[in-house]
Amino acid sequence: MTALLTIIVLVFILIAIWQMVKIFDLALATKNENTQVATDKDNTLNGYLMMGFLAFIYVITIVCCVLWGDLPLLSNSASAHGPTIDNLMIISLVIIFFVQTLTQFLLHYFAFKYKGEKGKKALFFADNNKLEAIWTIIPVIVLAGLIIYGLNTWINIMGVDESDDPLVVELYAQQFNWKARYGGADNTLGKSNVRLIDIDRANILGLDESDPNAQDDIITTELHLPVGRPVLFKMRSQDVLHSAYMPHFRAQMNCVPGMITQFGFTPTVTTVDMRETPEMVEKVKRINDIRVENSKPLLAKGEEALEPYTFDYLLICNKICGKSHYNMQMKIVVETQEEYDAWIKEQKAFKNSLIN
């Protein structure tokens, strides 16, 4: 029934368009003119609309920046390398903003300024080497700067310095959750392979039980990191591709079945400190206002209200991995060394977690 009604409405819309066009055409029809080719009137109207559209582009830019300019992750990074990425991002955005504003102006202004008039002659201007050299060389210079800056940043981030004695943590992905594995007292991960997985004995990550390094490994469902200490993540996946995305730390790496990938960073702000930054206080308040608003219809239906939100760092899956891809996350807690030591002490070592 709905489908039928929709079709009828569409048919009526089509008829209405047809009628409107006929009236329009009749009103505009002039003798000996092909009415479907733009006239001076069309040129003028569309020329002005081009200026209007330029204004629209500027307005939407400003509106987006004002309304949502605080959404992008551009300042409150929580890792040592974060500010360098943010800096490069801001520089790139400024360049883009400048070029965008200028070129859109030229494009739309020319479209307005040189709108066609009968009898006017266009300028035969087919080439100018000097001009073309200018707009080849300027991008070359700007891009050379961006490439050098970008590659420097990239190499610094991706180069892992093992001499820093980083905390080694395995991030283990499966449809649709995350596990973390710590090396234990020796900070060395035991050997592992998914072929060794033995669900009955609770060897869920496929650790090699005969490897001495594996005995004190610790498997957790929350990721705790001591602040200020470099962390080296070793990523593994047991089934399909996943991506370990930690937006607040400006960190991401795919988890690939059959190989181990890695990414390292140093967390610099504890969860508690991050919650207290003015930006975060404001953001959490804003989100909670939204949640209160969204709870109203739920309450009216007799359901429970949404839980209030408190900020936590998150590890989220960012590579399509199946049905529940949209709900594959793990909480990250950045804390002081003492808090971390206390937490890790409470966790079970691998050898003690096996069921015999």
Partner 1 sequence: MSAHADTHAHDDDHGHHHKETFVTKYIFSQDHKMIAKQYLVTGTIMGVIGVLMSMMFRMQIAWPEEPNVLFEALLGKWAPEGVMDADIYLALVTIHGTIMVFFVLTAGLSGTFSNLLIPLQIGARDMASGFLNMVSYWLFFLSSVIMVISLFVEAGPAAAGWTIYPPLSALPMAQGGSGTGMTLWLVSMAIFIASSLLGSLNYIVTVLNLRTKGMSMTRLPLTIWAFFITAVIGVISFPVLLSAALLLIMDRSFGTSFFLSDIFIQGEVLHYQGGSPVLFEHLFWFLGHPEVYIVILPAMGLVSEIMATNSRKPIFGYRAMIASILAIAFLSTIVWGHHMFVSGMNPFLGSVFTFTTLLIAIPSAVKAFNWITTLWKGNLQMNPAMLFSIGFVSTFITGGLTGIILGDSALDINVHDTYFVVAHFHLVMGISALYGMFAGIYHWYPKMYGRMINKNLGYIHFWITAICAYGVFFPMHFIGMAGLPRRYYTNSNFPLFDDLANVNVIITVFALIGGVVQIVYLYNFFASIFFGKKAPQNPWKATTLEWTTPVEHMHGNWPGEIPHVHRWAYDYNKPGHDVDFIPQNIPLKDGEEELQH
Among 125, 130, 345, 346, binds partner 1 (CB under 8 A): 125
Find the binder of partner 1 among 115, 179, 181, 224 (CB under 8 A): 115
CA angle 284, 287, 288 (to 5 degrees): 85
Phi and psi, residue 238, nearest 5°: -95, -15
Binding of partner 1 at residue 337 (CB under 8 A)?
Answer: no
Provide the 3-class DSSP secondary structure of residue 40. Answer: helix
Binding to partner 1 by CB under 8 A, coded x per residue (else -) over 50-79, reads x--x--xx--xx--x---xx-xxxx-----
Question: Residues 289 to 318: which contact partner 1 by CB under 8 A?
Answer: 290-291, 294, 306-307, 309, 311, 314, 316-318
> Rounded to whole angstroms, how far apart are CA atoms 273 and 334?
9
Site residues for partner 1, window 154-193 (CB under 8 A)?
154-155, 157-159, 174-175, 193
Q: What is the DSSP string of 122-143?
A: -------HHHHHHHHHHHHHHH
Handedness of CA 171, 172, 178, 184 (dihedral sign): negative
Strand partners of residue 181: 170, 219
Residue in 220, 329, 336, 353 binding partner 1, rule: CB under 8 A: 329
Residue 227 neighbours by CB distance under 10 Å:
19
**Rule CB under 8 A: which of 211-270 touch partner 1?**
235, 238-241, 243, 245, 247, 250-254, 256-259, 261
Which amino acid is located at 82 in the chain? G
Please, what is the minimum distance in Å from the beta carbon of residue 113 to partner 1?
A: 9
Choose between 128 and 163: whose C-beta lies nearer to partner 1. Answer: 128
Residues 263-282 that bind partner 1 (CB under 8 A): none
Q: What is the DSSP letter of 215?
A: T
Among 8, 9, 21, 185, the residue binding partner 1 under the rule CB under 8 A is: 21
Q: Does 153 bind partner 1 (CB under 8 A)?
A: yes
We find the least distance from the C-beta atom of residue 121 to partner 1, in angstroms, to be 6
Residue with tokens 């190989």: 259
